[in-house]
Amino acid sequence: MEVVFIGSGSVATHLALALKEKGVTISQVYSRTKSNAAALADKLGTSYTTDLSEIYDKADIYFYALKDGSFRNTLKSFDLPDAIHVHTSGSISMSEFDGIATKYGVFYPLQTFSKEKEVDFSKIPICIEAINADTQQKLLDLANLLNSKTYLISSEQRKKLHLAAVFACNFSNYMYDVSSQILEEIGVGFDILHPLIMETALKVQSVTPYKAQTGPAVRFDDKIITKHINMLKNRRDLKKIYKLLSKDIHKRHKKI
């Protein structure tokens, strides 16, 4: 099987390397930025282009791993070869391919990627959507080749899944960031919180977050909540967040 990657960011890099390792031929890499295209092509031992009119047209699957903003423009800028076209985005509808391609779908790895950090695709859920059963099976085959867990997720579901991921990943990370800011004030290194953060994430692998909820808000401990809010007097933004989240947790766990 031959694959072309349109895009050279974190998702493209990790996915292309993982597919190559499983014997898939990566025929070409495209990126608007020459240094990025060259860097990924070099890692993959393949060729690259920065010109959409030079896209290799004999591949079986074209992966679009682009920023959401440049996806639509890229699609408009060249004639898509007769092959399977898939994007890897959590927030773009599959219907963006309507009228442009005939075989298309979505191959969305639900994980947070950094270029430097290695990833193990066998632990990554792949959300698949396809325009027809044949394309769907080809995408499932590809995900199975990576030993990934596969989920059939519609565009409508994927939008909300992406929203859920913002809470589970981006916003929980911001909670860590706030805690690191508080520790800075008292001159204590962030490593003191490492085990607590790991255990909190580990817990919800086996019980629901609802059941795992602890802390002053769920115990309705007004005294501690008031003390904490007072400690945040110089950080109006954090005070607001503390109050809002505590109120919400309280409401959710209140026995009627």
Residue whose CB is less far from a copy of itself, 53 or 230: 230
The residue (of 100 and 196) whose beta carbon lies closer to a copy of itself is 196
Burial class (CB in 10 A: 0-12, 13-18, 19+), 106: buried
Instruction: Give 38 or 235: the residue with its C-beta nearer to a copy of itself.
Output: 235
Q: Smallest distance, Å, CB 141 to a copy of itself?
A: 20
Residue 137, number of CB atoms within 10 A of its CB: 12
Which residues, in sequence order, are bridge partners of residue 29? 5, 48
d(CA 147, CA 123): 8
Q: How far is the CB of 83 from a copy of itself (least distance, A)?
A: 28
In 3D space, the residue among 109, 93, 85, 114 whose CA is nearest the CA of residue 9 turns out to be 114
What's the min distance (Å) between Cβ of 245 and a copy of itself? 5
Nearer to a copy of itself, 55 or 127 (CB): 127
**Dihedral pair phi/psi, residue 100, rounded to 5°:** -105, -35
Beta carbons within 8 Å of 162's beta carbon, 6+ residues apart: 90, 91
Instruction: Provide the minimum distance between the beta carbon of 116 and a copy of itself in the complex, in angstroms, as a whole number.
Output: 9
CB-nearer residue toward a copy of itself: 2 or 159: 159
Instruction: Give the shortest CB-238-to-a copy of itself separation in angstroms.
Output: 8
Instruction: Tell the smallest beta-carbon distance from residue 206 to a copy of itself (Å).
Output: 8
d(CA 196, CA 175): 13
CB within 8 A of 183, min separation 6: which ones? 189, 190, 192, 193
Rounded distance between C-alpha atoms, residue 202 and residue 71, angstroms: 35
Helix (H) / strand (E) element for 92: namely: none
Measured from the CB atom, the residue of 25 and 155 that comes closer to a copy of itself is 155
Closest CA to 105 of 89, 82, 129: 129
DSSP alpha helix (H) spans, the chain: 10-21, 34-44, 68-76, 133-145, 155-165, 172-186, 194-203, 209-212, 222-231, 236-253
CB of 244 to a copy of itself, least distance (A): 6
Q: Which is nearer to a copy of itself, 79 or 173 (CB)?
A: 173
